């Protein structure tokens, strides 16, 4: 029975999505609820599951196509498990016969006048590990242009598929080698072996990021204030409690939970940083939902830690670890990306020493934390080496004054440098 695969409702106010990677090919067997294709909205990437067990009859929309909610993107054929791959025959009495297999060759009879020629050896079946990769259409074109063979390119796509990115990566590796013997035909003098440019459509997710960042710059009066924090106290406390914390809660004690706690405390003292502007009104928030910027499979995402003022250090660390793991697999839900009141961005995990983060509208502030670096500092009129971190607060000057922004950041600094204050709630 033919079954239609259409784009479902993926969130409020979302009317169209972009087709991502197809995880299954035409003619391929699929199981019920097995992921078929990635669809990208301006807020998240989702996997669309198969509504039935069967096979994909026809793919109607390709990667990069923009489609409306409710639009038909593929046709499936529903079938029972194994029906599409094993052919059965009916015997005369209506019972199913076993699948036909080649009968083994019999030795010639001793009394036969004419000897029967020996049967041809059956061709050896390739082992699953030796099966050639499934070459996606864009990868096939890239192979044809470059002269590479599919067997010479490592496949990294889902289910062992060979992607266009795999071919381009192999070309880059070969181009970077100082000397090599290659079966690839040499390019004409002065011309590169591969394409000089590649034009791909901007995903709705990336387009939405660009739109909101530009909106922040165009609308808000953004300024950034800086400070530096001596991380000795937090590092010492982590070293002292690391093993006991992980043994009890099953997660490492990181730096982010300290900054979440410090930021929430500072927001309580300086509520304008937790507020937003709506038209000609200021809306003060009495809840503390902290956005945590994490790197995802499709780029930076900001899932929201709701009710952060009510969470323990362990609950914060567990939630952040869960966000990070699911962000890499594009498994975050739309609800988890909505409605933060303040954001923390940790560029230090990528080695950033200093940056000016951009606020996430309609929020009025974002705290940027960075890499820890040992530096000489003046301590009690002596030069000492301390693990130091630069921190930055970008704020909307329309609602937050310079005095409040500076004292907000200084409050965070004081709490991090004396972390036992947060443990005692003072």
Q: Given this model, what pLDDT does residue 91 score?
A: 38
Which residues 6+ apart lie within 8 Å of 426 measured at CB?
A: none
Residue in the block written with tokens 């242009």: 145
What is the DSSP pairing of strand 365-379 with strand 342-346?
parallel
Asked if residues 392 and 364 have their Cβ atoms less than 8 Å apart, the reply is no
Asked if residues 195 and 10 have their Cβ atoms less than 8 Å apart, the reply is no
Asked if residues 412 and 259 have their Cβ atoms less than 8 Å apart, the reply is yes
Give the residue ranges of DSSP H helices in 177-250: 204-219, 232-249
Asked if residues 207 and 214 have their Cβ atoms less than 8 Å apart, the reply is no
Measured distance CA(141)–CA(139) in Å, rounded: 5
Burial class (CB in 10 A: 0-12, 13-18, 19+), 396: buried
Q: Given this model, what pLDDT does residue 264 score?
A: 97
Which residues 6+ apart lie within 8 Å of 169 measured at CB?
A: none
Closest by CA position to 84, among listed 62, 52, 59, 60: 52
Q: Given this model, what pLDDT does residue 100 score?
A: 42
Tens-digit pLDDT profile for the chain (426 aa)?
888 999 988 766 677 888 888 998 888 999 988 889 988 876 677 888 999 999 999 999 998 888 888 899 999 998 875 444 433 334 334 444 444 444 444 444 443 344 444 454 444 444 444 456 778 777 777 787 777 888 788 887 766 777 777 887 777 777 665 444 444 444 445 445 556 888 877 777 677 778 877 888 888 999 999 999 999 999 999 999 999 999 999 999 999 999 999 999 999 999 999 999 999 999 999 999 999 998 876 678 899 999 999 999 999 999 999 999 998 887 888 789 888 999 999 999 889 999 999 998 899 999 999 999 999 999 989 999 999 999 999 999 999 999 999 999 999 999 999 998 887 766
Radius of gyration of the chain (CA): 30
Token pair for 357 = 């983060």
Model pTM?
A: 0.61
Token pair for 204 = 């709705």
- Dihedral of CA 299/305/306/309: which sign? negative
Residue in the block written with tokens 């921190």: 391
Q: Enter the DSSP assignment of 126.
A: P
φ/ψ region of 291 (left if φ > 0, alpha if ψ in -120 to 50, else beta) reads beta
Which phi and psi angles does 231 have, rounded to 5°? -90, 10
Measured distance CA(189)–CA(193) in Å, rounded: 10
Closest by CA position to 18, among listed 76, 74, 69: 69
CA 183 to chain centre: 36
Please confirm, yes or no, whether 287 is among the known catalytic residues.
no
CA 402 to chain centre: 36
Closest by CA position to 100, among listed 86, 120, 81, 85: 86
Measured distance CA(206)–CA(201) in Å, rounded: 10
Q: Given this model, what pLDDT does residue 194 score?
A: 58
H-helix or E-strand containing 228? strand 222-230
Cβ burial 47-63 (10 Å sphere, 16+ → b, else e): bbebbbbbbbeebebeb
Is residue 219 helix, strand or coil?
Answer: helix
Among the listed residues 65, 81, 397, 411, the single catalytic one is 397
Measured distance CA(344)–CA(288) in Å, rounded: 12
Closest by CA position to 225, among listed 411, 415, 421: 411
Token pair for 25 = 């090919």
Closest by CA position to 332, among listed 364, 360, 292, 369: 292
Q: Given this model, what pLDDT does residue 358 score?
A: 92
Beta bridge partners of 257: none
Among the listed residues 381, 396, 401, 411, the single catalytic one is 401
Please confirm, yes or no, whether 397 is among the known catalytic residues.
yes
First to last CA, the chain: 67
């Amino acid at each position: 029975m033919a079954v239609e695969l259409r784009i479902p409702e993926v969130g409020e106010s979302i009317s169209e999505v972009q087709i991502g990677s197809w995880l299954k090919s035409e003619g391929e067997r699929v199981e019920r609820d097995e992921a078929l294709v990635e669809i990208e909205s301006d807020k998240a990437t989702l996997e669309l599951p198969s509504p039935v067990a069967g096979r994909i009859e026809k793919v109607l929309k390709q990667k990069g196509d923009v489609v409306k909610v409710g639009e038909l993107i593929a046709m499936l054929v529903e079938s029972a498990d194994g029906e599409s791959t094993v052919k059965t025959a009916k015997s005369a009495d209506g019972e199913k016969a076993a699948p036909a297999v080649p009968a083994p060759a019999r030795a010639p009879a001793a009394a036969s006048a004419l000897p029967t020629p020996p049967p041809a050896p059956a061709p050896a079946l390739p082992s699953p590990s030796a099966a050639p990769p499934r070459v996606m259409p864009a990868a096939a074109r890239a192979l044809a242009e470059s002269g590479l063979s599919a067997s010479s390119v490592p496949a990294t796509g889902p289910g062992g598929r060979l992607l266009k990115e795999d071919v381009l990566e192999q070309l880059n590796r070969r181009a970077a080698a100082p000397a090599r013997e290659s079966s690839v035909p040499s390019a004409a003098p002065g011309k590169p072996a591969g394409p000089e440019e590649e034009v791909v459509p901007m995903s709705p997710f990336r387009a939405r990021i660009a739109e909101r960042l530009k909106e922040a710059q165009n609308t808000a009066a953004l300024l950034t204030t800086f400070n530096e924090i001596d991380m000795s106290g937090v590092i010492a406390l982590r070293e002292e409690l690391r093993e006991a914390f992980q043994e009890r809660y099953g997660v490492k004690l990181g730096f982010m939970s300290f900054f979440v706690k410090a930021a929430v405390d500072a927001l309580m003292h300086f509520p304008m940083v937790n507020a937003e502007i709506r038209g000609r009104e200021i809306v003060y928030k009495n809840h503390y939902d902290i956005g945590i910027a994490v790197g995802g499979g499709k780029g930076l995402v900001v899932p929201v830690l709701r009710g952060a003022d009510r969470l323990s250090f362990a609950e914060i660390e567990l939630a952040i670890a869960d966000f990070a793991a699911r962000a890499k697999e594009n498994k975050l839900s739309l609800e988890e990306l909505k409605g933060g009141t303040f954001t923390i961005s940790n560029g230090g995990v990528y080695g950033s020493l200093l940056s000016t983060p951009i606020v996430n509208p309609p929020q009025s502030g974002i705290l940027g934390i960075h890499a820890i670096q040992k530096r000489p500092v003046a301590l009690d009129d002596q030069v000492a080496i301390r693990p130091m971190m630069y921190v930055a607060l970008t704020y909307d000057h329309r609602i937050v004054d310079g005095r409040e922004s500076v004292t907000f950041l200084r409050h965070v600094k004081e709490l991090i440098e004396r972390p036992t204050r947060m443990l005692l709630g003072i």
